Structure 1
Amino acid sequence: MRRRALIFGGAATLGCFAAIWPAPARTQQQQTWRVGVLIPGFLTGPTGDLVEVFRQELHSLGYIEGKNLHIDRRAAEGNNERLPVLANELVALGPDVIVAVATPAIAAAQRATSSIAIVMTPAIDPIGSGFVKSFSHPGGNITGLANMYGDSITKIFDVLQSILPNAKKIAVLMSSNPTHPGQVVVSRDAAKVLDLSIVPIMAATPADLDRAFRDITNERCDAVFVLADSIRPSIVAFAAAARIPDIYQISEFVEAGGLASYGPRLSAMWKRSAQYVVRIFKGVAPAELPVEQPTKFELVINLKTAKALGLDLPPTLLARADEVIE
């Protein structure tokens, strides 16, 4: 049951800009536009579904794959060290826009080109990562969406305590994403306020998850908080096998069987990303397209998973949820 929709806000709406991207790869009268999509994760599963959301939004805006649109897709399958090679492959194909998903892919695309427009879908800290000069005036060839995941961490620990009032130790699952060490610091501060301790657990690639969940079990953690990253669907299965409550910043994990999530909807971000791409097709400069931030965050709870874990969730928490999966 959905209760609230995700809304994005920026310094101004996308339709308000007259600035023109000075050197589009082809004219607006061209027959076919080319988009490169660079993903740290997988093209199947939840991320594949999100790419389809993106494609369908472009279709609704008049850009149809196989007719006047070509989409080149590249996925690192959880191995971020592959991203620079994949980014260079996309650049060599001469796209009009590159859609880069999450900080590792955005950084790889930024290193690969300073002339092709890049749309962040999304980034945790666009300014701190050096992608844009400011949200209102990005100033270069990169624009798009910020997810503000760091701002949601305190709320996530509040949700965790509501679900597990007697918890004392929380695992924080990381990858090689360069934003994760900073997110661990924020997590530690949020946990300390609630008299919780955290145990950072590194799983740089999907191949490391088996060992990571053994470490979580050996540390006797009461729950695992998975930092926002490319979607690694196997995390849900590992958490279920370990019978450990799992909480995320991305709702697609909960739809796949995870316990709970709190954060902005990725599907809304992908739709908005398609709208950025179309504005760039029409000649608007990415340097002058403001970076948008979510203004609504959603609490999603999987009641079936809670029952499988033997958890009796407070009615007040369920009442606060934007979606309850039963």
Structure 2
Amino acid sequence: MKAIVMTGTGGPEVLVLQEVPAPQIGPGDVMIRAEAIPVLFPETKLRSGEFPLGVEPPLVFGFQAAGVVSEVGADADPALIGRRVTVATMGFGSYAEFVSAPADSVNPIPDGLSATDAAAVLMSGSVALPLLETARLTGTETVLIEAAATGIGGYLTQLAKEYGAARVIATVGGPAKAEQARKLGADVVIDHNDPEWPTRLRETLSGTTLDVVFDSIGGTTALDLLDTMTPVQGRMLSYGWLSGAPAQLTATDLITRGLTLTGCAGPDWLARVADARTAALERAAAGGLNPLVEAVLPLDQAAHAHRLIEERAPLGKFILRPDHSA
């Protein structure tokens, strides 16, 4: 079969289309004939070496895929054969024509939802839902969503008012993303490419405060935001670090302002994310969540997709599609 092999750690050029053996299917696994493979932002960090890979390349890259179950291993339900599903691998192997994954990672794709849209919404949608649940919005809060036009931020922006936000302030990078954030539901948009954007935020608040911050940028800007937050009730949910480092805060920074920070990471958090996949797919199928697809590309364009993601150019998800007719 054809697959994208990560030949080493480095730039996008290390992702190479190669002919490789079909994956082995073990007990409790399923095999799918992949139709849509999302290119995920964290994958770019693993490929570059910024995040630890855990195993040595070369290896077939990729974490998630959507397609049709073609085979099941021992201890997996044979009724799954022929079903349209999404799967999550144990870390690698999804940038391929056929993908083996644990059966307990399977989520059926609802009728009316394409494999492309299912692949697009699977990760970001399933992270956004538990973030909004954790925020415990009551209908009165002003919230700040960082990187609010795409990825997880794009889903948070779509759903924040449904979950109880009264006012949504968004940060984005550039005019095109500002326009998208407004379309998704942001009331106010601030360009975080401006180094003075925390000052712009304070001007926007005009004496009011932020009740909830969805922090995906991290770094030193997290500290800059604390004095814009509501004392005692203000809460920051930290789930990413687009700046290259997690939020640079101390307990003293939080305690002296009466604020809380929730780190949305670790095994228990990832279990909540996995549990939310079905809900994310069902919302997309019902039309309550825009999957935000940027483009569908041939499998051999994986390196190109990584390059564009690192340039922060896309307004949505890149989906890779294997050509099974070749």
TM-score (norm 1): 0.36
Q: Higher relative contact order by CA 8 Å / sep ≥ 6: 1 or 2?
A: 1
More helix by share: 1
